[in-house]
Every structure is written in C-alpha cells, then in structure tokens.
Amino acid sequence: MTESRLVYECMQQLGKYGAVFRTNAGQFYTKDGQPVSGLPKGFSDILFIRHGGKPAFIELKYGKNKPTPEQEKFLQRMRDLGALAGVARSVDEAMRICELKP
C-alpha cells in the first residue's frame, strides 16, 4: 500500500456518502514555468462534504509519516470552526473522522 493508493481507496468509500475532493496545496508551475498558487500550505489531502453539508478535512498518512506542523495547525483550525478533521492511516479511520460507520 502507498499513500496515493490510500487516497484512492478513501475517495472510493467516502464517495458513497457525499462529495469528496482530492486537494493539492502549495505552489505549482505551468508548462511555461509560471508559478500558480494552490490551496494554503497545510490544507488536507481530502475534503469531504457529508449529506447535510458538514465538511470533513482528512490528512492521510501511511507508514511512519507524520503530519507537518502546518497540517496539524490547519486541522485544529478546521475543528475550531466546527468541521470534522483529523489524520487517517486507513479507510476505516477516515470513515470515523467523517462520523460514518465503516
């Protein structure tokens, strides 16, 4: 299993219960080298919107990888605003963060 495979599997399962989006944070470059700013640094890997509109932000990690300080700060800010948010290392953990039964 890789982190990208975990993202795919989480998206497949969560998609059954609402809208799910794979996000990319940071700065990117176009083919001709122009910088493009994406979402803010630390933004979660997945944004999930449950039926009823409640958002969940899921940072996916595999193996011994740990969230960065920016990711931890982002998740805490989202929780402070009333969203569901957390770090998942499996599909089941992602489902629990979203308050869904695996």
In the chain, what are the domain boundaries? 3-97
Q: What pLDDT is recorded for position 3? A: 85
Strands 18-22 and 27-29: unpaired
Kindly report the average pLDDT of the chain as a whole number: 93
CA 26 – CA 38 distance, rounded (Å): 5
Q: What is the pTM of this model?
A: 0.88
Judged by average pLDDT, the poorest of 32-36, 46-50, 55-59, 88-92 is: 32-36
Q: In the CATH scheme, what is the code of domain 3-97?
A: 3.40.1350.10
When pLDDT is averaged across residues 85-91 and rounded to a whole number, the result is 97
Which SS3 state, helix, strand or coil, does residue 22 take?
Answer: strand
Structure confidence at residue 35 as a pLDDT band (50, 70, 90) = confident
